[in-house]
């Protein structure tokens, strides 16, 4: 028995113990364990977990369905998936940038709503043509998100107000102010949501006919990929990124080294808010074309877990966003095809994130195993 345990320890240690690759191997290991645990839950319900997971892929256009409705195909499903994925990438990047400086931006959903609302009323209802309105939507979204994020950073710097408290309070303020304005001035009497924006201002080319297909083409997806590599370059290759990282490790040591801690806190939250603003416009003026009053998008909160799953690495966020969005987006088709309640997808996501949250503990265990092996070799 002890020999078998020793073999397993050595195998796991050699597979996951390399510190240079742990940022990739440990999250992948956690995801696999989470998927296995999710499969057990599905099996307990009397369903086939392999079929259920395949249904998730089918619902996202990553696997073919048995049949499709008119004007639809696997390609239209995949483009709809990318459309849903785009705001998640921006939102997770917003969380990751804040965490680089040791800040916890839990106000991404509020920043998304502020950006989406201001862009809608200033451009979405303006009647401008597409050439002017689409860039303006992006610009207003960036400025609105940065304004809210910068305010959180300023409150932290000037008055040492915890960013979690201020961002939660701003979430409520933005939520109810936008709700009041929508219900008073911009409500659609039929849907009880805000009036739909003009197609020219929308960042998704909805129902675009290509051949015999009607596609939703997400213009923001390419911008999201550009943002990933721009943030990666900023954090890893610039003086600003180095200072942000230093402030995140120790503010007192950074001050001693001559780094302006206050400036870095404010700038970090400005950048984080700007990314959240892009998430907002690609969500409210991209995937959707209106805003539901008194509701904050869950994307801003899910992005916290997605960023952690991606180890707060911009490139890792692409893969973690992809995985979580597959489970979320594909849950509807899984429910109809396999007869499994869509809420089970949330359970699977929660299990994956729970195991991913243990990555630091797994890293600690691996270091202990390696220390034991080192003592035995001596």
| Residue 166 and residue 156 in contact, taking contact as beta carbons nearer than 8 Å | yes
Could you say which DSSP state residue 219 is in? T
Instruction: Please answer whether residues 300 and 92 qualify as being in contact, where contact means their C-beta atoms are separated by less than 8 angstroms.
Output: no
pLDDT at residue 340 in the model: 87
Nearest-10 Cα torsion for 287, 289, 291, 297? 0
User: What is residue 197's DSSP assignment?
Assistant: P
Q: pLDDT digits over 52-110, tens only?
A: 999 999 999 999 998 898 889 999 999 999 999 999 999 999 999 999 999 999 999 99
Cα atoms found within 13 Å of the Cα of residue 245, Cβ hemisphere only? 12
Q: What's the pLDDT score for residue 350?
A: 84
Residue 319 has a pLDDT of: 93
DSSP class of 342: T
pTM: 0.92
Residues of the chain with pLDDT under 70: 1-19, 369-378
Q: What angle do CA 332, 333, 334 make, to 5 degrees?
A: 90
Question: What is residue 68's three-state secondary structure?
Answer: coil
In this prediction, residue 374 carries a pLDDT of 62
The candidate with the shortest Cα–Cα distance to 338, out of 57, 55, 77, is 55
Q: Which of 194, 222, 192, 208 is nearest to 282 (CA)?
A: 222
Distance, CA of 107 to CA of 168 (rounded, Å): 6
Instruction: Report the SS3 class of residue 194.
Output: strand
pLDDT of residue 347: 85
Residue 19, C-beta contacts closer than 8 angstroms, at least 6 positions apart? none
| The predicted structure's pLDDT at residue 378 | 56
- Give backbone dihedrals phi and psi of 214, rounded to 5 degrees, phi first: -110, 115
What distance lies between CA 164 and its chain's CA centroid?
A: 18
Do 261 and 251 form a contact (C-beta atoms < 8 A)?
yes
């Amino acid at each position: 028995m002890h020999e078998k345990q020793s073999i397993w320890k050595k195998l796991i240690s050699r597979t996951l113990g390399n510190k240079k690759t742990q940022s990739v191997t440990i999250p992948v290991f956690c995801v696999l364990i989470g998927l296995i645990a999710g499969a057990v839950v599905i099996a307990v319900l009397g369903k086939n977990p392999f079929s259920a997971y395949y249904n998730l892929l089918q619902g996202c256009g990553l696997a073919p369905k048995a049949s499709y409705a008119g004007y639809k195909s696997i390609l239209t499903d995949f483009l709809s998936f990318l459309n849903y994925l785009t705001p998640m990438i921006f939102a997770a990047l917003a969380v990751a940038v804040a965490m680089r400086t040791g800040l916890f931006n839990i106000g991404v959903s509020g920043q998304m709503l502020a950006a989406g609302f201001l862009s809608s009323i200033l451009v979405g209802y303006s009647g401008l043509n597409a050439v002017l309105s689409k860039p303006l939507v992006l610009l207003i979204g960036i400025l609105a998100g940065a304004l809210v994020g910068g305010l959180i950073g300023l409150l932290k710097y000037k008055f040492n107000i915890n960013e979690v408290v201020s961002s939660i309070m701003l979430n409520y303020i933005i939520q109810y102010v936008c709700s009041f304005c929508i219900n008073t001035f911009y409500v659609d009497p039929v849907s009880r949501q805000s009036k739909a924006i003009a197609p020219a201002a929308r960042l998704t080319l909805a129902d675009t006919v290509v051949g015999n297909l009607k596609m939703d083409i997400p213009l923001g997806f390419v911008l999201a990929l550009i943002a990933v590599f721009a943030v990666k370059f900023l954090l890893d290759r610039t003086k600003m990124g180095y200072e942000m990282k230093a402030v995140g490790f120790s503010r007192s040591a950074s001050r001693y080294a001559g780094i302006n801690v206050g400036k870095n806190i404010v700038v970090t939250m400005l950048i984080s808010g700007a990314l959240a603003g892009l998430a907002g416009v690609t969500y409210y003026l991209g995937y959707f074309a209106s805003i539901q009053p008194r509701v904050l998008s869950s994307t801003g909160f899910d992005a916290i877990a997605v960023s952690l799953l991606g180890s707060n690495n911009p490139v890792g966020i692409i893969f973690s966003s992809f995985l979580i969005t597959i489970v979320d987006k594909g849950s509807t088709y899984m429910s109809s095809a396999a007869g499994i309640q869509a809420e089970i997808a949330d359970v699977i996501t929660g299990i994956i994130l729970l195991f991913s949250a243990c990555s630091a503990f797994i890293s600690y265990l691996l270091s202990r195993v390696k220390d034991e092996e080192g003592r035995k070799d001596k």
